[in-house]
Structure 1
Amino acid sequence: MAETSTPKMTYRYLGNTGLKVSVLGYGNWINSDNEKAYELTRDSIKKCFEAGINYYDTAEAYGMGSAETLMGRAFTELGYNRKDFVVSTKIFTVGKGPNDRFLSRKHIIEGTRNSLKRLQMDYVDIVFCHRPDYETPLEETCRAMSWLIDQNMCFYWGTSEWNAARIQQAIGICEKLNLHPPVVEQPQYNMLVRDNFERTLADSFSQHGYGTTIWSPLCSGLLTGKYNDGSIPEGSRFAETPYMMSKYNEYFGDDDKKKKTMEQFNAIQDLAKEHGLTMAQFALGWTIVNKDVSIALLGFTRLTQIDENLQALKVLDIWTKELEDKCEALLNNLPDAGMNCRNWQ
């Protein structure tokens, strides 16, 4: 029987900064804007805070601003000291107007001001560029993000789903113009989606000490164990959302895929059980074992999921090379490190 005591929270520096963040963080992208959603947001934040989670992520795009409103209302009601928690938001799109989206100086600054109003905060700790914008000059974006820091609207800025070349280009522009450079990326990373994080972004970690806040560490729920029999539970997000259904079909879309995925998922679940963990706890723990992961973000549809996910911290204590090798054998998706010219004969 697995112990149910809550492990002690682990904190890491956010990349090459002095900011310490909990290795597990809270994100509220899945919430709507009704009163029930507010109560879940407030109670989730309270429970996370009491468990030592100090990082809270949102975005202007989540519910077209409603997620920020819920989070701001919750923190105001809870009355926590602002120095005791870290908040990030993301700027890219919030409406249908021609300047309500993308990464122009106008939208970055006006969007951040509006985010702060919804959050009822004087500043956020981090503002992310939620996606790359290949139409706005990158220098304009870098100048605007640096200006936010100069105006004390945020302390750091980061990127989300940017490729390594774009990140390097932004850092180069900031160094040349004496601007504040980006320090953190928010990519997807989990047992099933590894290539970008482990291979493409590797230079950003090694050369710049880039931090990371991981979204979808459970691959949109596929790694929770709910889908191990190949069926979609009634009322699940996969049953109700076309995007989620397309994700499901990547792994269960035909009989061959379904058979292979079910065998793999059930083997992972069996390995987790050997260590007194659920598949979700083990998969989440696998993500945070990677030292290039600063934070893995979690969303909750019920409060009991918080305690369940906190058990993933146990993986940090039980991780060994032997366990890593067992995982790699089951996953069979280790990214190709690329050609090493020194090995040419």
Structure 2
Amino acid sequence: METESMKYRYLGRSGLKVSVVSFGNMTSGWADGTEEWNFQCVDKCIRRGVNFFDTAEFYGFGIAETILGRNIKQGGYDRDDLIITTKFFPSNFGIQGLSRKRLRQAIDHSLERMQLDYVDVIYLHRFDAEVPLEETIRIANEIIDNDKAFYWGTSNFTPQQISECFTICEKHGWIPPIVEQCEYHMFRRDIIERDYVPLFDQYGLGTTVWSPLAGGLLSGKYNDGNIPPGRLESSPFAPMLKQYWDKYIGSRKEAALRTLNGLKAIADELGCTQAQLALAWVIKNPDVSTAIMGASAPHHLEDNINSVDVLDKLSPEILARIEELLENRPAPSMHWRTFTPNPPRR
């Protein structure tokens, strides 16, 4: 269901159109009582034109897939309007990795949990150094040939590993990956803005980026330099939050708080929230196909979806002011014909 305000982009060089913001249910299944609020989030997304829903067999050890499937069935939505993706982890606490044997079983188990005949995209959730990549890509193509998925991609692969995927596919005439799922936010820019640029140029690779708010640090909740009471005790994702905090705040607190509060001032000028500004900044990048949102409540999701309305407010002047606050633009690669740095892509 396409709405007036939602924007869509093609996922890589495929014919698949995805909303520029999407929903990931990584937090579903790790705690009791998540199914109902997850349905409210899914329903909110669909009513606002979001059509891309991301999950993984690893999330809640299968429970997140089950919940998403039940939510889709509960809402009675038109499956043709939705883009559903899942990911397969190298071990998933077994010994077979991303082997032909394991992936044949994994796709059937995922579809059974989600009560679906197919997913739109399957991802290799991490690179598996113990299984020949050729074997893994062969079975990814077999899954597509059997109409259990339409496309495949990678998640958290290095540029070299992704390039190897394309080389293998070109050698055998197989369907190549169309997308990579990686981290991207105002504090982590090197992957999208430097490392993958040759892949965007050569292969038209799409991206579905995760943690666009840096684990919530860019939401505005931490601008006073403190973690809200109970946040590190009440969530199964507390170790991830602590890791983000230590990496981006704790080690450089004064500078980080200056950046966060500077972003809040710009957001206030634009008439939006800091979270909306941070999300809009991510999807302003043309190399981002969609930014995957998480949410602990439907009203947070509503705020995040409205980031689409901020896109047109990010003028070159505003983007320059944001750059002055961030001070972390990756050094551009060199254009070796002219011996000058390549211009920024944003």
Which letter maps to 1:12?
Answer: R
Verify: 1:338 aligned to 2:330, yes or no.
Answer: no
What's the TM-score, normalizing by structure 1?
A: 0.93
Runs (5+) with no aligned partner, structure 2: 341-346
Note if 1:22 corresponds to 2:23.
no
Name the structure 2 match of 1:44. Answer: 41
SS at match of 1:333: coil
Q: d(CA) in 2 for partners of 1:93 and 1:103? A: 5
Query: 2-side partners of 1:197 and 1:64: how far apart?
Result: 29
State how far apart, in whole Å, the 1-side matches of 2:293 and 2:171 are: 37
- The verdict on how the C-alpha distance between 1:156 and 1:251 changes in structure 2, with shifts beyond 3 A counting, is same
CA distance in 2, matches of 1:76, 1:91: 23
* Alpha-carbon offset, residue 303 of structure 1: 0.9
1:283 aligned residue: 278
2:178 pairs with one of 175, 183, 190: 183
Q: State the partner residue of 1:163.
A: 158
1:33 and 1:69 map into 2 onto residues whose CA distance is 12
Please give the per-residue CA displacement for 1:52-97, whole angstroms capped at 9, x wherever unaligned: 0000000000011000000011111111111010100000157433
Aligned to 1:214: 209
Residue aligning to 1:261: 256
Following superposition, the deviation at residue 323 of structure 1 comes to 1.3
- C-alpha separation in 2, matches of 1:89 and 1:25: 13
Maintained 8 Å contact 1:15/1:210:
yes
| Alpha-carbon RMSD | 1.7
Structure-2 separation of matches of 1:15 and 1:23: 13
* 1:58 and 2:55 correspond: yes
C-alpha offsets along residues 138-165 of structure 1, whole Å, 9 cap, x if unaligned? Answer: 1111101111110001000000011111
Write the distance in 1 (CA, Å) between the matches of 2:254 and 2:22: 34
Determine if contact 1:232/1:238 at 8 Å carries over to the other structure: no
Between 49-58 and 72-81, report the one with greater CA deviation: 72-81
Distance 2:224 2:7 in 1: 34
Contact 1:65–1:94, Cα closer than 8 Å, also in 2: no
Alignment of 1:190-339 (within 5 A): 190-236=185-231, 240=235, 241-254=238-251, 257-339=252-334
Query: Which deviates more from structure 2 when the two are superposed, residues 307-316 or residues 202-211?
Result: 307-316
1:151 and 2:146 matched: yes
Residue 9 in structure 1 maps to residue 13 in structure 2: no
On the 8 A contact 1:238/1:245 being kept in 2, the answer is: no
**CA offsets per residue over residues 272-291 of structure 1, 9 Å max, x none?**
11100111110000000011
- Say whether the 8 Å CA contact 1:56–1:86 is kept in structure 2: yes
AA aligned opposite 2:15: G
- Runs of 4+ displaced beyond 3 Å: 237-240, 339-345
Q: Provide the secondary structure at the position in 1 that maps to 2:110.
A: helix
Structure 1 SS opposite 2:161: helix
Shift of 1:33: 5.6
Paired with 1:286 and 1:248, the residues of 2 have a C-alpha distance of: 21
- 8 Å CA contact retained: 1:238, 1:244: no
2:33 alignment partner, SS class: helix
Question: Is the 8 Å Cα contact of residues 5 and 309 (structure 2) preserved in structure 1?
Answer: no
Give the C-alpha shift of residue 343 in structure 1: 5.0
Q: CA deviation at 1:338?
A: 2.7
Q: How does 1:6-155 map to 2 (within 5 A)?
A: 8-32=5-29, 36-93=33-90, 95-99=92-96, 102-155=97-150
- How far the C-alpha of 1:35 sits from its partner, in A, is 5.7
**1:18 aligned counterpart, secondary structure:** coil
Partners in 1 of 2:17 and 2:337 — Cα distance? 38
Residues 7-47 of structure 1, C-alpha deviation per residue, up to 9 Å, x if partnerless?
Answer: 71001111111011111100000122666200011111111
- 1:3 is matched with which residue? none
Aligned residues: 336
Q: Which structure 1 residue ranges, 5 or more long, are not aligned?
A: 1-5
* Distance in 1 between residues matched to 2:205 and 2:303, nearest whole Å: 29
| In structure 2, distance between residues paired with 1:72 and 1:292 | 30
Contact 1:232 1:239 in 2 (8 A): no
Q: What is the CA distance between 1:309 and its match in structure 2?
A: 0.8
Aligned partner letter, 2:87: K
Q: Compare 122-131 and 35-44 and name the one that shifted more.
A: 35-44
TM-score (norm 2): 0.93
